[in-house]
A and B are shown apart, each in its own frame.
Chain A
Amino acid sequence: MTFPDFHPTPLTVSDLSLERGGIPLISGLSLRVEPGEALVLLGRNGVGKTTFLRALSGVLRPASGDIRYGDTPAIKAAPAVCTFLGHDNALKPDESPRQSLAFWAELSGMTEMIPKAMNAMGLKALADRPSRRLSQGQKRRSALARVLVQNRPVWLLDEPAAPLDGDGREKLAAAVTAHRARGGLVIAATHQALEWPDARVQELTR
């Protein structure tokens, strides 16, 4: 069983400036990400990688400039096209990965894809353990499986691999490759080498 098709959407960022609490972070950033591309954001701590991802997810208004998915501004388009994985995993301590996935899959109408997402992240053995008894890496796998069942064309991932072991990073890389092959976009902020084949790298500076 494969995920239902989505409409591939290019991302255009033009002359973007962002502030956080009155402090200017990113200024004059322009880039374009086409369907099937992966963009890895690098940069020092505090340079604004997370802020940039939040702006891409439409919750943070740019100080100036423009973010568009296709022709639609991010603030309007994001709830239909984006999945955001932040530092926190959006897991409830008393919910098992299976329950959590069942919930998010139902919101996206993807209930039948739960086994495939659990397989892709190697969650089989952990499926029914409450999240409070999972390790950081296991929680991250569960959160990444949530990204899969949401089945949106644009993945915004903040340090997706930080707590993952070698096997987890391989599974993430495989999921990213499969997503790109379907015309999806992946934008990830990271400090680690992600070993994603031919991912573009964007260095963010002040």
Chain B
Amino acid sequence: MRVGAIFLREARLAFAGGGGPAAPAAFFIASLTLAPLAIGQSPATLQAAGPGVICFAALLAVLQGAEKLFGEDVADGTLEAYGLSGIPLSVVAVAKVLGSSVATLWPLPLVGLGGGVAFGLSVEAAGMLALALAAAIPGLAFLVAIAAALSAGARRGGLVIALVAAPLAIPLMVFTASAGRAAMIGDAAAGANLLLTCAVSLFLTALSPFAISAALKARLE
């Protein structure tokens, strides 16, 4: 299947050149290790800050591969070849984002689980947070891909990525962290927050391909 070929190639390239999941996972772990040094070591502080810090660090981990996602295709002429492949660019975008995300982002919920326990959350609360992270990651990957497509080939691409991704990430940050926090105090709102995370993530996943395709088409001209 043609779209499957793009998915597989993207996953293979992520392992060949990018070290697969090592970079985002290492980035995530490093952020979680440094955070307590900055916010203070008292167990109460860490427990309160944990879900928020973990969500935020996960966003940064997803962002760190953004510039490569479409930037390389623009620079090496691959995007032009995709443009004439007869496959709609929105479909190419879905295959690319899913291929690279599946290859590189899968450890993040597990790191989130370990991080939650390390920050003093109960296992149930850390589990809920990990579940919410797993639900949020497709949405995060796609919103970061919008920013990546807008910045592809642009000078100061990192600036564009930060400016575009930050506001788009707000709902996912709020609901994912709230799911973890609510679970920590045994509040029933945890489940509701998890469902809201799923909803926002699905919404971003469904609509982003069209935004990505429009950005890439503008880049081709």
Interface residue ranges, A against B (CB under 8 Å): 57-61, 78-80, 82-84, 86-95, 99, 103-104, 106-109, 146, 152
Chain A contact residues: helix, strand, loop or mixed: loop
The answer to whether B78 touches A90 (Cβ under 8 A) is: yes
The answer to whether B86 touches A80 (Cβ under 8 A) is: yes
The answer to whether A87 touches B77 (Cβ under 8 A) is: yes
The answer to whether A82 touches B84 (Cβ under 8 A) is: yes
Interface residues on B, range: 20 to 34
Chain A residues closer than 8 Å to B77, beta-carbon distance? 86-90
Chain A residues closer than 8 Å to B75, beta-carbon distance? 88
The verdict on B167 contacting chain A, using a C-beta distance below 8 Å, is no
The answer to whether B221 touches A61 (Cβ under 8 A) is: yes
The verdict on B171 contacting chain A, using a C-beta distance below 8 Å, is no
Tell me, in angstroms, the Cα distance from A178 to B31 when the chains sit together.
58
The verdict on B87 contacting chain A, using a C-beta distance below 8 Å, is yes
Contacts beyond the supplied A84-B80, A86-B77: 12 A-B pairs with Cβ under 8 Å: A57-B80, A57-B83, A57-B84, A79-B85, A80-B86, A83-B84, A87-B77, A90-B81, A94-B13, A103-B9, A104-B81, A107-B87
The answer to whether A60 touches B9 (Cβ under 8 A) is: no
Chain B residues closer than 8 Å to A61, beta-carbon distance? 221
Chain A residues closer than 8 Å to B84, beta-carbon distance? 57-58, 78-79, 82-84, 152
Tell me, in angstroms, the Cα distance from A103 to B11 when the chains sit together.
13
Docked complex: B28-85 residues within 8 A CB-CB of A: 72, 75-78, 80-81, 83-85
Chain B residues closer than 8 Å to A93, beta-carbon distance? 17
> How near does chain A come to B73, taking the closest CB pair, in angstroms?
8
Chain A residues closer than 8 Å to B6, beta-carbon distance? 107
The verdict on B206 contacting chain A, using a C-beta distance below 8 Å, is no
| Closest chain B residue to A92, Cβ basis | B13
Chain B residues closer than 8 Å to A152, beta-carbon distance? 84
The verdict on B220 contacting chain A, using a C-beta distance below 8 Å, is yes
The answer to whether A59 touches B221 (Cβ under 8 A) is: yes
Tell me, in angstroms, the Cα distance from A153 to B110 when the chains sit together.
50
23 contacts between A and B (CB under 8 A): A59-B220, A79-B83, A79-B84, A80-B86, A84-B80, A87-B77, A89-B77, A90-B76, A90-B78, A90-B80, A90-B81, A92-B13, A92-B16, A92-B17, A92-B76, A92-B78, A94-B13, A94-B17, A95-B13, A103-B5, A106-B2, A107-B6, A107-B86
Tell me, in angstroms, the Cα distance from A107 to B12 when the chains sit together.
16
Selected from B2, B72, B76, B80, the residue in CB contact (under 8 A) with A59 is B80
Tell me, in angstroms, the Cα distance from A16 to B83 when the chains sit together.
22
Chain A residues closer than 8 Å to B221, beta-carbon distance? 59-61
The answer to whether A106 touches B13 (Cβ under 8 A) is: no
Chain B residues closer than 8 Å to A108, beta-carbon distance? 85
Contact digits for B182-221, partner A, Cβ 8 Å, 1 yes 0 no: 0000000000000000000000000000000000000011
Selected from A60, A79, A99, the residue in CB contact (under 8 A) with B86 is A79
| Closest chain A residue to B16, Cβ basis | A94
Chain B residues closer than 8 Å to A109, beta-carbon distance? 2
In the A-B complex, list the 5 residue pairs whose CB atoms are closest, starting with the nearest.
A88-B77, A94-B16, A90-B77, A106-B5, A94-B17
> How near does chain A come to B120, taking the closest CB pair, in angstroms?
42
The answer to whether B16 touches A95 (Cβ under 8 A) is: yes
Tell me, in angstroms, the Cα distance from A144 to B99 when the chains sit together.
27
Q: Which of B2, B77, B83, B85 has the most CB of A within 10 A?
A: B77
